[in-house]
């Protein structure tokens, strides 16, 4: 009897939306933080894209994300000002209409009431600015909300192909990061791989990447399932000019591949420095 076949785990991607990032007005903080949040759960980021506030480009980027089967986080552009296009582009990419999400509407109204109470004024639900704020809860049809612990204004998730999804959060880190954590912990805990990944490497002096490439290719060919990496540096404060060469993957596979890598390096008579282990 054949063993049951389990679908492969999805890859994780990140889309960062906003002219302010591409123009340099603001420095992106999402990429390193998402890497950190994933790594803390034994996961890794497979790809990331930056896109400005162009509806056509955002729609095309989201269409690729929905079709990829990946789990994708998108930050920025989900507000209700003229330069916020992400909600509309998500609907266009999916080919579905926009609609006011009932849970989002309730949360936004709750936030408006809280704000009025804090300011000591009456809550006027039909006031023009309050009606406009409800646009922040207009999501693609079929979306699910992502709670926002900072100010209650939710983000949203939309299913994509082959079990993937795109999860949309605001551009503000104080909101986006706990929302991304919530999505990971509530929807993808079954994928967490604590202590199921390790990386072993060694500092190599006086060698060229081109010379070491055949060895790297042999290691990946012979030891299927591990990835070989090469990180050259020309001005490291401790090691100076060097290459950090290593393997990463499941601990058992790495334990077999890493000695083979070291043996291959000795064959090149490479001068080796400290060895590094990360998990």
- Please tell me the predicted confidence (pLDDT) of residue 98: 98
> Domain limits of the chain?
12-191, 198-278
What is the pLDDT averaged over residues 20-49? Answer: 94
What is the pLDDT averaged over residues 216-236? Answer: 92
- Model confidence at 4: pLDDT above 80: no
User: Half-sphere exposure of 164 toward its Cβ, with a 13 Å CA cutoff?
Assistant: 22
Confidence bin at 264 (pLDDT 50/70/90): very high
To which residue do tokens 């609609």 refer? 99
CA 198/CA 131 separation, integer angstroms: 52
- Please tell me the predicted confidence (pLDDT) of residue 239: 86
Burial profile 216-241: b = 16 or more Cβ within 10 angstroms, e = fewer = beebeeebeebbbeeeeeeeeeeeee
pLDDT, one tens digit per residue, over 48-101 is 999 999 999 999 999 999 999 999 999 999 999 999 999 999 999 999 999 999
Fold of 198-278: Alpha-Beta Plaits (3.30.70)
30-39 vs 173-187: helix axis angle to the nearest 10? 30
- Please tell me the predicted confidence (pLDDT) of residue 202: 94
Asked whether 246 and 203 are in contact (CB, 8 A), the reply is no
Q: Which residues contact 260 (CB under 8 A, 6 or more apart)?
A: 219, 222, 223
Quick one: 48 exposed, middle or buried, by C-beta within 10 A (0-12, 13-18, 19+)? middle
- Model confidence at 210: pLDDT above 80: yes
Beta strands at 227-236 and 240-249: parallel, antiparallel or unpaired: antiparallel
Could you list the beta-strand ranges (E) of the chain.
12-17, 45-51, 71-75, 98-100, 138-140, 144-146, 155-159, 165-169, 198-205, 227-236, 240-249, 271-278
Cα Rg, the chain, nearest whole Å: 23
- Please tell me the predicted confidence (pLDDT) of residue 7: 61
What is the pLDDT averaged over residues 242-257? Answer: 92
Overall pTM > 0.85:
no
Fold of 12-191: Molybdenum Cofactor Biosythetic Enzyme; Chain A (3.40.980)
Confidence bin at 278 (pLDDT 50/70/90): confident
Q: Identify the DSSP state of 135.
A: G
CA 198/CA 42 separation, integer angstroms: 10
- Please tell me the predicted confidence (pLDDT) of residue 196: 67
Tokens of 211: 């010379």
pLDDT, one tens digit per residue, over 92-129 is 999 999 999 999 999 999 999 999 999 999 999 999 99
CA distances from 138 to 3, 88, 273 (A): 45, 9, 57
Mean residue pLDDT of the chain comes to 93
- Model confidence at 1: pLDDT above 50: no
Q: Identify the DSSP state of 149.
A: T
- Please tell me the predicted confidence (pLDDT) of residue 195: 61
pLDDT, one tens digit per residue, over 150-209 is 999 999 999 998 889 999 999 999 999 999 999 999 999 999 876 667 899 999 998 888
CA 228/CA 243 separation, integer angstroms: 13
């Amino acid at each position: 009897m054949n063993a049951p076949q389990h679908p492969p785990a999805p890859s994780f991607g990140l889309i960062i939306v906003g002219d302010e990032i591409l123009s340099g007005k603001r420095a992106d903080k999402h990429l390193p933080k998402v890497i950190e949040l994933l790594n803390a759960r034994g996961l890794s980021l497979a790809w990331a894209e930056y896109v400005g506030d162009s509806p056509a480009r955002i729609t095309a980027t989201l269409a690729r994300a929905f079709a990829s089967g990946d789990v994708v986080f998108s930050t920025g552009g989900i507000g209700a000002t003229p330069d916020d296009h992400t909600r509309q582009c998500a609907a266009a990419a999916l080919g579905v209409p926009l609609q006011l999400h009932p849970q989002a509407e309730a949360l936004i109204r709750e936030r408006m009431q809280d704000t009025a109470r804090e300011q000591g004024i009456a809550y006027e639900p039909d006031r023009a600015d309050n009606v406009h704020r409800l646009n922040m809860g207009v999501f693609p049809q079929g979306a699910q909300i992502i709670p926002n612990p900072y100010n209650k204004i939710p983000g949203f998730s939309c299913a994509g192909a082959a079990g993937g999804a795109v999860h949309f959060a605001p551009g503000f880190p104080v909101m986006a990061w706990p929302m991304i954590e919530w999505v990971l912990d509530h929807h993808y805990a079954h994928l967490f791989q604590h202590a199921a990944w390790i990386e072993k490497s060694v500092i190599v002096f006086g060698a060229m990447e081109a010379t070491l490439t055949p060895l790297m290719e042999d290691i990946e060919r012979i030891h299927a399932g591990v990835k070989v990496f090469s990180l050259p540096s020309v001005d490291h404060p401790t090691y100076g000019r060097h290459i950090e060469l290593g393997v990463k993957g499941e601990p058992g596979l790495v334990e077999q591949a890493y000695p083979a890598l070291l043996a291959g390096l000795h064959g090149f008579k490479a001068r080796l420095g400290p060895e590094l282990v990360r998990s």
